[in-house]
Amino acid sequence: MARKPQGLLPVPEKLLVWEHADRAVFPFGIEKLAVADGEGNAPNARVMASAEFLIIAVPGSDKGVGTVCKVLQSEGAGEGRMSLVVQGVCRTRFSRPKDGGTTAVRHAPLPDKPLKGSSPLAAAKIRGILDRLNGLAVSAGTISPAFVDELSRIRLPGRFSDILAQELSLPPDKAGELLSEADPRKRVDLLHKFLQSEIEIESIRVEMENKTYNEIDKRQREYFLKQQMETIQSELSQGREQEGTEAPYLGKAESLDAPEAVREHLVKEIGRLARLSPYSEETAQLKPYLDLVFDLPWGKFTEDNLDLGKVKRLLDKEHFGLQKVKRRILEHLAVLKIGGKGGGRIFCLVGPPGVGKTSLGKAIAGALGRKFVQMSLGGIKDEAEIRGHRKTYIGAMPGRIIQGLRMAKTMNPLFLLDEIDKVGMDFRGDPSSALLEALDPVQNNHFVDNYLGFPFDLSKVLFITTANTTEGIHPAFLDRLEILELPSYTEEEKISIAKRHLVKRIKASTGVGDRISIDDRAITAVIRSYTREAGLRNLERELEKIYRNAALKLARGKAVGERIGDQEARKILGPQPFFCNERMKKEKVGVATGLAYTEVGGEVLFVEASVIDGTGNLTLTGQLGEVMKESAQAALTFIRSKASELKLNARSLSKKDVHIHFPEGAIPKDGPSAGITIAVALYSVLTGKKVDRDTAFTGEITLRGDVLPVGGVREKILAAHRSRIRRVVLPSFNRKDTAELPKSVLSSTEMIFVDDIKEVFSHAF
- Note if 252 is an active site residue: no
Backbone φ and ψ of 98, nearest 5°: -65, -35
CA distance 395 to 386: 16
Backbone φ and ψ of 426, nearest 5°: -150, -160
Backbone CA torsion sign across 435, 438, 443, 448: positive
Instruction: Name every residue whose Cβ is closer than 8 Å to that of residue 153 and which is 6 or more positions away in sequence.
Output: none
Backbone φ and ψ of 621, nearest 5°: -135, 160
CA distance 63 to 190: 19
- H-only helix segments in 556-625: 566-573
CA distance 6 to 26: 15
Which residue, among 155, 29, 6, 154, has the nearest Cα to 91 in the 3D structure? 29
CA distance 58 to 176: 10
- Decide: 719 and 578 in contact? Cβ < 8 Å: no
CA distance 578 to 570: 13
Query: How is residue 672 annotated by DSSP?
Result: S
Which residue, among 646, 625, 589, 663, has the nearest Cα to 760 in the 3D structure? 646
Strands, sheet with 482-485, edge to edge from the N-terminal-most edge strand:
372-376, 414-418, 462-467, 347-350, 482-485
**DSSP letters for 435-492:** HHHHH-TTTGGGEE-TTT-SEE--TT-EEEEEES-STTS-HHHHTT-EEEE-PPPPHH
CA dist 156 to 108, 150, 394, Å?
A: 23, 13, 75
Catalytic residue among 488, 673, 684, 723: 673
CA dist 195 to 137, 181, 740, Å?
A: 12, 18, 114
Residues in the chain: 765
Give the type of residue at 323.
Q
CA distance 193 to 198: 9
* CA 685 to centroid of chain Cα atoms: 62
CA dist 639 to 334, 615, 700, Å?
A: 56, 16, 15
CA dist 258 to 205, 266, 291, Å?
A: 59, 10, 15
- Decide: 83 and 43 in contact? Cβ < 8 Å: no
Catalytic residue among 716, 736, 744, 747: 716
CA distance 40 to 414: 99
What is the radius of gyration, based on Cα positions, of the chain? 54
Give the type of residue at 65.
V
Residue 191 neighbours by CB distance under 10 Å: 24
Beta bridge partners of 485: 350
Which H, E and C letters describe 91-139, residue by residue?
EEEECCCCCCCCCCEEEEECCCCCCCCCCHHHHHHHHHHHHHHHHHHHH
CA dihedral defined by 132, 134, 136, 139, rounded to 10 degrees? Answer: -130
Question: Is 292 in a helix, a strand, or coil?
Answer: helix
- Note if 716 is an active site residue: yes
Catalytic amino acids? Answer: 673, 716
